[in-house]
Structure 1
Amino acid sequence: MKFNSVKTLSVLTSLATLINADCQLSGDGNYYCSSTDAIVYSNVGISGSYNDVTSMDETSCACSSQPIQFSGNLAPLDEELSVHFRGPLNLKQFGVYYPNQGTALKKRDGDMANENCAETVSKKKHRHKRDVAVEYVEVTATVYVNEAGETVTATAPATNTATGASTVAANNNNNNEVSAAQTSTQNNNINNNANNDGTSQKRDATTSLTAASPSSSLTSSNSYSNGDWTRMTYFTPGSATNCTFMNHQGGTAGSGTWSGCFGNSISYAASNGVDGAGSAFALDDVTLKSGQEYMIFSGTECSGPNGDCGYYREGIPAYHGFGGSSKIFVFEFEMPTDNDGSGYNQDMPAIWLLNAKIPRTLQYGNAACSCWETGCGEMDLFEILSAGSDKLISHVHDGQGGGTQDYFVRPVGNTLKAAVIFNGDDKSIHIVQVNDDFSGSLSQATVNSWLNTPGSAAALP
């Protein structure tokens, strides 16, 4: 990684801060400070541009792009995001909440603790191109849903589709029910799709949903009325509402494509998360092995190349990500140890967010074929930086740069529940370890308690 003189000074200053703080250099070459229950990124959002891919030529193996401007609170992370997972990992719950019309996030009270580690710079760089790395960034976006679960001032398609290995409504324990406002139809279509290993999997139900996750083209004002948040996306093993599981098996099992130029595209993921599939499935209760990955998009399909999702690779299943500067992602997951082998990213699990344009063109490969290199946005939520580590680090990657070396304790033999709150009102993103249930709606009081959880500051320049 090349540093200019300003960046080099920043690195030296950060290292001096680490040395003076209660931080330790570990054997893997990374600094770690203190365990924490929350990490708060402040001053998120910049004005700038990145190179938006406009074509991928299978003849010349070249990609073309043009600059696209962005600005605002949390920008460019207010654009649509896809959610990515790498093993060893078992995902127990995932959800996305949007504020009802009238919900306003409050500014957090007071300063966060552990300011000493607020502005550290990692020694590694990564774009999750199946290598480890780190850097920092910040984000923005705004979108709302009304009490009936309908998007407000939506310009994106209004119909979302999710499919699962069991009906969504059947999973009614632990507040996993789906509201009637979200579910419009259920079709008992049963398909058998063959996996690469010859086994079969059953698709029991298709649930058509209205008012799914708003896209980045959604707009809203700051006039609010009531304070609840509506869960618009939800997953538990075997059940998926307004979310689409994908991986990098394009061209192997009925979806996506492969070429000698760009390799495997994204594809629908089979219920084991590893194989490809010809249609969308809810993930089963599975544990990814080291190096295995899948991703989650919303249930809303893109309208077509160069449409509401912009350009994307021809022949892929293309879905919207999760846009907006006011939204909450929730997770419950386990990251067990995996000592079976020494492959790539062995025993280095991670959960991160990408600008959804990146996997729709090329996540791994020619840098000119995605907008990552030019700063369209990545945020690492929970990442192990070296094999066997128990310290989960967070970083932001874009034109700002920033982060903290404080860490969450890796959940081995137990699960970690966390909320990631995008608060465009005060330009902050909160990653918070929580104990609350992820029911169909959240009260503003609950969200405010998360916002005010003491933790580690990660101020961005």
Structure 2
Amino acid sequence: MKFSNTLLLGNILSVLSTLSKADQCTFSGGNYYCSETDAIIYSNVGTSSSYQDVTSMDENTCACSSSAKTFSGNLAPLNEELSVHFRGPINLVQFGVYFPAEGSNSVSNLKKRQLEKIAEEECKTTAQKPKHQHKRDVAVQVVEVTATVFVNADGQSITPVGDINVDGVLTTSVNANIQNGAATTTTLQNIVSSYTQVSTILNTNTKATAAAAASSAAASSSSSSSSSSGSSAAVAGSWQRASYFTPGSTSNCTFMNHQGGTAGSGVWSSCFGNSISFAASDGISGAASAQALGDVTVQSGKEFMIFSGQECGDNDASCGYSRDGIPAYHGFGGDDKIFVFEFSMPSDTSGSASNQDMPAVWLLNAKIPRTLQYGDASCSCWKTGCGEMDLFEILTAGSDKLISHVHDAQDGGTQDYFKRPVDGTLKAAVIFNSQDNTIHIVEVSEDFGDVLSEDTVNSWLSISGSSAALP
């Protein structure tokens, strides 16, 4: 899974502002955790920017080429096609994707084709899993993360230059172009030695002060101590299921992993390693053709992913470039879409040392796995911000706290967390709502039928939760 431990100074100060108000927060395994929640709401999602879109992968020179691709609009770039990724230990009980039904909102041609591929009869899971207790009385916290907190004497924003490497005590040094283009040094020592103190030393040549920075961070996080009102814009009309999975049965879902060249699909090369491939029913092995995942617990550290059932065609602009020889399938695109999940994450220490007992569920721009998910950064658009959204991620081995975060041109998240479903299952919906540029990750109890009613979706949108407003 892609992940960056790099934050801009503004992000850190904004988080600190939140932590100073949240005495229930704890520091564990190098990460802060605040309140358990049953909803995380991202607001102000979408920006205008560009990323480096891979255009070729040369097996002779082991080099990749790319060109700039601009994006803008509601929820961009997360409105582009997304693939859905899972890391064990995890048992996936249900998965589905919904789009607005005809007459409710506009439906793209891709969505129409996906809807047409739904089977008339879909098998339901026969295994009755214990349910994760759904909570509605959990305290929630609003967290707003912004990327710019410095201002000069004229009140103009100043953006720090360089990366802040976050370690156990968050001792950092940043070069910032603050005055007349001259680089000065800002040192923050023991930033989070407590929740209420920030020791800051600023070069006297700068026009920014610790007080101004902290004040700006607090102002931009004005909602950080209150609960979200659940006032997201309502949607009109029902939502039709376009993809669905239960163990052993799929409709418009294609399971893949990273076993290219081992079992009849995908490729391997000394330059780029194993490509993606069809996954066998165990989720771990490769396969020559698409198979449904079985009723299995994928072990610790192992990964699989889900694309739609629609293959990418030649010169398919919505897919973009794909590595030669791979099974290339469309992801799930559009401004308005809902992903639903039911899964358990039992403890398992038998996997790889790097990701042992650290399950996760996340979304990637589907171009990333179709080129190179892990490896040379120039062979993927990830580093340049084409889009990742961590939905449920364990950050340290054995933790029971699932964190969410967005990684793209807008970077942000929250220290609130979902309870990991170690024994039972967690049912959740992820709602992309272009009406107000929000993404809601909500723990739910309702069934996932062929159709989600307007009332059901709006009830999910109304659930108060921890909110991360992207810059």
* TMscore range, shorter length: 0.7 to 0.9
Cα deviation for residue 26 of structure 1 reads 2.5
Cα deviation for residue 27 of structure 1 reads 2.9
Count of aligned pairs: 362
Quick one: structure 1 residues 370 and 341, their matched pair in 2 at CA, closer, same or farther if it must change by over 3 Å? Answer: closer
Give the corresponding residue for 1:103.
104
Give the corresponding residue for 2:231.
none
User: For 2:407 and 2:11, how far apart are their aligned partners in 1?
Assistant: 16
Contact 2:363/2:388, CA 8 A, preserved across alignment: yes
User: For 1:87 and 1:171, how far apart are their aligned partners in 2?
Assistant: 24
Quick one: structure 1 residues 154 and 329, their matched pair in 2 at CA, closer, same or farther if it must change by over 3 Å? Answer: closer
Give the corresponding residue for 1:369.
379
Quick one: structure 1 residues 226 and 14, their matched pair in 2 at CA, closer, same or farther if it must change by over 3 Å? Answer: closer
Amino acid at match of 1:361: T
Give the corresponding residue for 1:247.
257
Give the corresponding residue for 1:288.
298
Residue 74 (structure 1) aligned with residue 75 (structure 2): yes
Map Cα deviations across residues 330-356 of structure 1 (whole Å, 9 max, x no partner). 000000001236622000000000000
Q: Which of 411, 426, 430 is the equivalent residue of 1:401?
A: 411
Quick one: structure 1 residues 459 and 158, their matched pair in 2 at CA, closer, same or farther if it must change by over 3 Å? Answer: closer
Secondary structure at 2:121 match in 1: helix
Cα deviation for residue 173 of structure 1 reads 6.4
Paired-residue identity, %: 65
Quick one: structure 1 residues 375 and 342, their matched pair in 2 at CA, closer, same or farther if it must change by over 3 Å? Answer: closer
Residue 297 (structure 1) aligned with residue 249 (structure 2): no
Cα deviation for residue 304 of structure 1 reads 2.4
Give the corresponding residue for 2:92.
91
Quick one: structure 1 residues 348 and 240, their matched pair in 2 at CA, closer, same or farther if it must change by over 3 Å? Answer: same
Give the corresponding residue for 1:258.
268
How do 1:440-459 and structure 2 match up within 5 A? 440-459=450-469
Map Cα deviations across residues 375-425 of structure 1 (whole Å, 9 max, x no partner). 000000000000000000000000111111100000011000000000011
Map Cα deviations across residues 291-319 of structure 1 (whole Å, 9 max, x no partner). 10000000000002565411110000000
Residue 53 (structure 1) aligned with residue 54 (structure 2): yes
Secondary structure at 1:66 match in 2: strand
Q: Which of 104, 121, 125 is the equivalent residue of 1:169?
A: 121
| Structure 1: unaligned runs, 5 residues or longer | 105-142, 145-151, 175-223
Secondary structure at 1:448 match in 2: helix
Quick one: structure 1 residues 160 and 299, their matched pair in 2 at CA, closer, same or farther if it must change by over 3 Å? Answer: farther
Secondary structure at 1:323 match in 2: coil
Cα deviation for residue 31 of structure 1 reads 0.4
User: For 2:426 and 2:125, how far apart are their aligned partners in 1?
Assistant: 19
Residue 230 (structure 1) aligned with residue 249 (structure 2): no
How do 1:382-461 and structure 2 match up within 5 A? 382-461=392-471
Give the corresponding residue for 1:347.
357
User: For 2:368 and 2:112, how far apart are their aligned partners in 1?
Assistant: 19
How do 1:168-207 and structure 2 match up within 5 A? 169=121, 171-172=123-124
User: For 1:339 and 1:2, how far apart are their aligned partners in 2?
Assistant: 24
Contact 1:101/1:226, CA 8 A, preserved across alignment: no
Map Cα deviations across residues 190-248 of structure 1 (whole Å, 9 max, x no partner). xxxxxxxxxxxxxxxxxxxxxxxxxxxxxxxxxx9971111110000000000000000
Secondary structure at 2:370 match in 1: helix
User: For 1:225 and 1:2, how far apart are their aligned partners in 2?
Assistant: 36
Quick one: structure 1 residues 305 and 259, their matched pair in 2 at CA, closer, same or farther if it must change by over 3 Å? Answer: farther
Secondary structure at 1:97 match in 2: strand
Cα deviation for residue 155 of structure 1 reads 9.5
Tell me how large the CA RMSD over aligned residues is.
2.4
Cα deviation for residue 426 of structure 1 reads 0.3
Secondary structure at 1:235 match in 2: strand
Give the corresponding residue for 2:180.
none
Normalising by structure 2, what TM-score? 0.73
User: For 1:258 and 1:408, how far apart are their aligned partners in 2?
Assistant: 38
Map Cα deviations across residues 159-187 of structure 1 (whole Å, 9 max, x no partner). 9879xxxx98362568xxxxxxxxxxxxx
Quick one: structure 1 residues 173 and 237, their matched pair in 2 at CA, closer, same or farther if it must change by over 3 Å? Answer: closer
User: For 1:82 and 1:159, how far apart are their aligned partners in 2?
Assistant: 17
Contact 1:160/1:301, CA 8 A, preserved across alignment: no
Secondary structure at 1:447 match in 2: helix
Based on CA coordinates, which of the two structures has the bigger radius of gyration?
2
Moved more, 226-235 or 447-456: 226-235
Amino acid at match of 2:326: I
User: For 2:6 and 2:375, how far apart are their aligned partners in 1?
Assistant: 23
User: For 2:44 and 2:235, how far apart are their aligned partners in 1?
Assistant: 26
Quick one: structure 1 residues 155 and 22, their matched pair in 2 at CA, closer, same or farther if it must change by over 3 Å? Answer: closer
Contact 1:160/1:300, CA 8 A, preserved across alignment: no
Contact 1:50/1:68, CA 8 A, preserved across alignment: yes
Residue 315 (structure 1) aligned with residue 325 (structure 2): yes
User: For 2:410 and 2:296, how far apart are their aligned partners in 1?
Assistant: 36
Secondary structure at 1:405 match in 2: coil
User: For 1:259 and 1:225, how far apart are their aligned partners in 2?
Assistant: 47
Quick one: structure 1 residues 93 and 28, their matched pair in 2 at CA, closer, same or farther if it must change by over 3 Å? Answer: same
User: For 1:61 and 1:26, how far apart are their aligned partners in 2?
Assistant: 42
Amino acid at match of 1:459: A
Normalising by structure 1, what TM-score? 0.74
